[in-house]
Amino acid sequence: MEVKFDQKKGLWAEGEDADRLRNNSFGEQDGKTLWLTPEEALYIIDLQNGTVNHNGKAMGFEEVLAAYAPKDPRLMIKYNAYRDWRDRGLIIRRADKTTKGQSRSSQVKKYPSSEMSLKKLKAKVVWDSTSAMGVLDDQKLSRELFSDWWLGQIGVYKQERGSVLKLNFFEVMLLSEHFGLRVFDTAKSKETSSKNIMGEIARRREFAKTMYQAYVDWRLNGYIVKTGFKFGTHFRIYFPGASPAKGSDGGKWVHSKHVLHVFPKEEKLLVSEWARAVRVAHGVKKTFILGMPKLTDKDYVDYPADFAAYRRKKKGKDWVRETPKDGPRYLLAAVSEEEHIGGVELASLLKKAEAMNLNLILSITDRETAITYYALNKIKLKDAKFDYYEIEWLRP
């Protein structure tokens, strides 16, 4: 199989070679010429026993790479993603602004909502700014907040010892701001406000306001939100109705099924660290949820999304691969484990995928060129100030 190359024209195939490649959904047809992308040509050399001919001389893989890498420094990362998807017997093609996919409606997950109907509190909590914790010694109210709403921790975690309710920063803020809890600051020996508490914490902890807003989104929808420290994330999430006093298995301790990581638009994470948190969650059978503040139009950037990717479909009793006639399912962005990605970049990719009627996949290349895929499915949460996505470890 022969591909021709010209520095000005590009890469193309003709005749029987073009027919064979076209039948396998390579390239773009223009008259009798089938034009190919650099990653397609690299794949043909690497795994299809093909050749690239330049003025009668065969070019090797490294020569084709060298011809295009100066203008496309991410070409090798893109090639690895392309190669892996093709090796699974699936079709993958360059995505452009005209690409439109199959319906995404089934991929938007509506989460249930249960209003947090806690009555106004006529109580006072003692606030310790150094530990960022509050203490409530009203035992009746403490038991109600802990048992009915799973707010704070009475005594020792998972044990029936102790009677004092300890509330973390998020819980004190929520009860003060939304349910009238009064707060007495031990350091200043006077009553304080939720605004003052937030000011203190924000000076010490980056993105405190952003994390608190995500906490409020879920709490006011009836969800239980506790620390996700053990799982390498910000929060663990329990669906409405969960309680430490009434587990789902005969009164034993109930376990969370979801974890939430808040991704501020100003923050950038190393891809390998982000992927590690997702893997930890999946390793303990929890759904990983990513939360991002809603952006304004001026916040979005044109972050590159590389490919439109296809899966398989059921035809009778058999599974057959989809073709361009079916329309793609995914917008695939290729990244490496050494790259950083920020909240703005990820939100921009998600917006682009939604506009193209596609679901977003991140294809992560590790140092040994193995590929891991993560699909992002949007969550619909009532009156949320953030956008939320389930992150699914995908096996194409």
CATH number at residue 9: 3.40.1170.20
Q: Are 293 and 264 in contact (CB under 8 A)?
A: yes
* 282 shares its domain with 387: yes
**Distance, CA of 23 to CA of 103 (rounded, Å):** 26
* 68 shares its domain with 87: no
Which entry of 265, 286, 352, 378 is annotated as an active-site residue? Answer: 286
Q: Is the pLDDT of residue 321 over 80?
A: yes
pLDDT tens, residue by residue, 98-126: 788 876 555 678 898 888 888 899 899 99
End-of-domain residue from the set 220, 247, 266: 220
Reported as a pLDDT band with limits 50, 70 and 90, residue 24 is very high
* 200 shares its domain with 234: no
Backbone angles phi, psi at 16, to 5 degrees: -65, -35
Backbone angles phi, psi at 244, to 5 degrees: -65, -15
* 281 shares its domain with 232: yes
* 159 shares its domain with 180: yes
pLDDT tens, residue by residue, 154-176: 877 777 677 889 999 999 999 99
Q: What is the pTM of this model?
A: 0.85
Kindly tell me the sign of the dihedral angle through the C-alpha atoms of 320, 325, 330, 335: positive
**What is the CB-side half-sphere exposure of residue 192 using CA atoms within 13 A?**
21
* 266 shares its domain with 386: yes
* 256 shares its domain with 383: yes
End-of-domain residue from the set 179, 199, 220: 220
Q: Is the pLDDT of residue 253 over 60?
A: no
Which entry of 54, 109, 255, 351 is annotated as an active-site residue? Answer: 255
**Distance, CA of 161 to CA of 43 (rounded, Å):** 64
Catalytic annotation present for 43? no
Phi-psi category of 394—alpha, beta or left, where left has phi over 0 and alpha has psi -120 to 50?
A: beta
**Residue with the larger pLDDT of the pair 245 and 27:** 27
Catalytic annotation present for 238? yes
Percent of the residues in the chain that have a pLDDT greater than 70, as a whole number: 95
63 sits in which H/E element: helix 61-68
Catalytic annotation present for 54? no
- Host domain of residue 309: 74-112+224-396
* 128 shares its domain with 267: no
Tokens representing 172 are 């004190």
Which entry of 68, 238, 330, 373 is annotated as an active-site residue? Answer: 238
* 256 shares its domain with 384: yes
Q: Looking at the 3D structure of the chain, how many domains does it have?
A: 3
* 329 shares its domain with 242: yes
Reported as a pLDDT band with limits 50, 70 and 90, residue 205 is confident
